């Protein structure tokens, strides 16, 4: 009997300490358990089930077979292409965010995107089969683009990969930057059930994630989804993967309309050496005003149909030069 009393006293003491710790944590970090859940983002794409599926690696992905956005059964926008590249074809895969995807006000049809337009231009210029696959996904950062390249796009055996990122990378992270995002994975059975219940405890979250993450989750330490250094590292990783698998990578600088309505390049960490395409020159060559090339406020970041046309021509000219350089090996493997 005395043993049971001691055990009960010990359990009561532990419970009292836990309750005090929970109360103190809730005062110091209000709503921590709610805000510190991993995989939270300022953009809503992950929680739009009609157009996106949750993904443990990419965070979210386009929902396949979505005719509203011309998303095919493989989960990318445009016509379905076999994973095995046809003999003699030049295959280009376009990585990017909603600017590559073709969002805007109003959204563009698939045929108006720079991926579709560059395919048409290149077929006429090169007189050979050309396939351009649009893997752009709204809300994606360079981190997601890198993961998409490593896990999916590389299996399509591209000759060239284009990467258009920067707009979403600098957005504030909620709790965790992209590289630290982790889905809550719990084991089956009662252990998993207990862990899921414990996530409602602010003190448990504080113990498992640490003080630094707690500050981030409460917005006391603002960090970008992808830092400029991480941005450059993601691009370097894409380039290394290209060298390993025999494809070239073209980095496309992102532009937007600034407060004065002028075109300005996004300073996400893409330096002049990495940016292989001089989009500013092609935008100027259209003779159109900046607000005709990019949707005006409140948008300001998505290219219009003429903007996509300019990007397509810039990419096509660069690719024609690459294919014409026998030392590059583009399109011969």
Q: What is the pLDDT along the chain (333 residues), one digit of tens a residue?
A: 577 776 777 678 778 777 887 788 788 777 766 655 556 676 767 667 789 998 888 989 999 999 999 999 999 999 999 999 999 999 999 999 999 999 998 899 999 999 999 999 999 999 999 999 999 999 999 999 999 999 999 999 999 999 999 999 988 887 678 888 766 566 677 777 777 777 778 777 777 766 666 666 565 567 889 999 999 999 999 999 999 999 999 999 999 999 999 999 987 656 545 557 899 999 999 999 999 999 999 999 999 999 999 999 999 999 999 987 643 444 433
Q: In degrees to the nearest 10, what's the CA dihedral of 271, 161, 124, 129?
A: 170
Q: What is the CATH number of the domain that holds 282?
A: 3.40.50.1110
| Residue 314 forms part of a structural domain | yes
pLDDT, position 109 = 97
Domain final position from 217, 245, 272: 217
Report d(CA 208, CA 19) in Å as an integer.
Answer: 17
Cβ pair 265, 276 in contact under 8 A = no
Q: Are residues 102 and 145 in the same domain?
A: yes
pLDDT, position 326 = 43
Q: Are residues 181 and 111 in the same domain?
A: no
Report DSSP state, residue 85: P
Closest by Cα among 240, 243, 233, 303 to 270: 233
Q: Are residues 267 and 287 in the same domain?
A: yes
Report d(CA 70, CA 51) in Å as an integer.
Answer: 11
Report DSSP state, residue 208: H
Report DSSP state, residue 272: T
| Residue 8 forms part of a structural domain | yes
Q: Are residues 153 and 184 in the same domain?
A: no
| Residue 86 forms part of a structural domain | yes
Beta bridge partners of 66: 71
Rg, C-alpha atoms of the chain: 24
H-assigned helices in the chain: 2-28, 32-35, 98-101, 114-126, 142-151, 190-198, 202-217, 228-245, 279-285, 290-293, 305-324
| Residue 47 forms part of a structural domain | no
Helix 202-217 and helix 2-28: axis angle, to 10°?
A: 20
Q: Are residues 204 and 274 in the same domain?
A: no
Q: Are residues 16 and 136 in the same domain?
A: no
Q: Are residues 189 and 271 in the same domain?
A: no
Strands 52-55 and 59-62: antiparallel
Domain final position from 217, 246, 276: 217
| Residue 30 forms part of a structural domain | yes
Q: Are residues 249 and 145 in the same domain?
A: yes
Coil, strand or helix: which one is 268?
coil
Q: Are residues 205 and 239 in the same domain?
A: no
Q: Are residues 185 and 82 in the same domain?
A: no
Q: Are residues 96 and 189 in the same domain?
A: no
When divided into structural domains, the chain yields a total of 2
Report d(CA 211, CA 202) in Å as an integer.
Answer: 12
| Residue 244 forms part of a structural domain | yes
Cβ pair 297, 104 in contact under 8 A = no
pLDDT, position 209 = 67
Q: What angle do CA 314, 279, 91 make, to 5 degrees?
A: 35
pLDDT, position 44 = 67
In terms of residue numbers, what domain contains 180?
2-40+173-217
Q: What is the 3-state secondary structure (H, E, C) of 100-140?
A: HHCCCCCCCCHHHCHHHHHHHHHHHHHCCCEEEEECCCCCC
Coil, strand or helix: which one is 154?
helix
Give the N- to C-terminal CA distance of the chain in Å, as an integer: 80
Report DSSP state, residue 99: H
b/e sequence 123-160, b meaning 16+ C-beta within 10 Å: beebeeebbbbbbbbbbbbbbbbbbbbeebbbebbbbb
| Residue 330 forms part of a structural domain | no
Q: Are residues 212 and 248 in the same domain?
A: no
Report d(CA 292, CA 274) in Å as an integer.
Answer: 27
pTM surpassing 0.85? no
């Amino acid at each position: 009997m005395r043993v049971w009393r001691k055990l009960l006293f010990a359990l009561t003491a532990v419970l009292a300490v836990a309750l005090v710790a929970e109360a103190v944590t809730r005062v110091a970090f209000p709503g921590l358990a709610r805000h510190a859940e991993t995989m939270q983002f300022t953009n809503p794409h992950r929680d739009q089930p009609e157009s996106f599926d949750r993904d443990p690696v990419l965070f979210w992905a386009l929902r396949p077979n979505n005719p509203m956005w011309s998303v095919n059964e493989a989960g990318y926008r445009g016509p379905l292409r076999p994973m095995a590249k046809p003999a003699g074809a030049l295959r280009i895969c376009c990585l990017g965010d909603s600017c590559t995807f073709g969002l805007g006000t109003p959204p563009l049809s698939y045929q108006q995107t720079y991926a579709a337009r560059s395919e048409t231009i290149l077929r006429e210029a090169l007189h050979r089969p050309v396939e351009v696959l649009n893997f752009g996904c709204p809300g994606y950062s360079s981190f997601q683009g890198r993961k998409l390249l490593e896990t999916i796009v590389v299996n399509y055996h591209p000759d060239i990969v284009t990467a258009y990122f920067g707009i979403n990378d600098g957005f504030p992270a909620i709790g965790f930057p992209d590289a630290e995002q982790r889905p809550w994975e719990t084991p089956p059975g009662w252990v998993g059930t207990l862990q899921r219940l414990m996530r409602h405890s602010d003190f448990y979250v504080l113990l498992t994630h640490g003080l630094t993450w707690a500050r981030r989750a409460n917005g006391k330490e603002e960090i970008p989804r992808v830092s400029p250094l991480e941005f450059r590292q993601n691009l370097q990783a894409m380039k290394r993967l290209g060298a390993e698998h025999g494809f070239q990578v073209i980095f496309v600088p992102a532009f937007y309309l600034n407060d004065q309505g002028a075109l300005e390049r996004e300073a996400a960490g893409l330096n002049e050496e990495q940016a292989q395409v001089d989009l500013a020159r092609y935008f100027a060559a259209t003779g159109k005003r900046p607000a005709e090339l990019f949707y005006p406020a409140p948008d300001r970041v998505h290219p219009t149909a003429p903007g996509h046309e300019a990007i397509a021509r810039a990419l096509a000219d660069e690719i024609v030069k690459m294919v014409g350089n026998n030392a590059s090996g583009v399109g011969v493997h």
